[in-house]
Amino acid sequence: MPLAEAEPCAKMPRLAYLVSGGSPGTARMGQAYRAPANAAEIFRDVMAKKKANREYVWLQCSETGELNYRTSINVRGGVPTKLREGLKKYCPRLRRHTLHKVKRK
């Protein structure tokens, strides 16, 4: 079933009204449907959003000094106390769990 084009108006660019029940996207019958301007606009709602206010830090082994793990932390709330004290993580060089502390590069 075809879409009926509305009269062109300066305030509403590229607008079409649905006459039939066939709906592109989430538009319903009788509601306005605006065609996407470009590919970025099409994928804007589909793609995952970037995590804001996050910073990557390294976890450094306290015994060997190697940077074995990388994790992200929330910058706004500061470094959590659990990370500040250190985590018990596996160190491949020593082949056992050791204390790893936060190191910013």
The predicted model gives 43-51 an average pLDDT of 66
pLDDT at 6: 53
Distance from C-alpha of 41 to C-alpha of 24, rounded to nearest angstrom: 15
More confident residue, 88 or 41: 88
Q: Please check whether residues 43 and 62 belong to one and the same domain.
A: no
Average pLDDT over residues 3-12: 54
Percent of residues, the chain, with pLDDT higher than 90: 33
Quick one: pLDDT at residue 99? Answer: 97
Q: Do both 30 and 60 map to the same domain?
A: no
Do residues 31 and 72 share a domain?
no
pLDDT at position 79? 82
- pLDDT of 68: 95
Q: Which domain holds residue 16?
A: 1-48
User: In whole angstroms, how large is the CA radius of gyration of the chain?
Assistant: 26
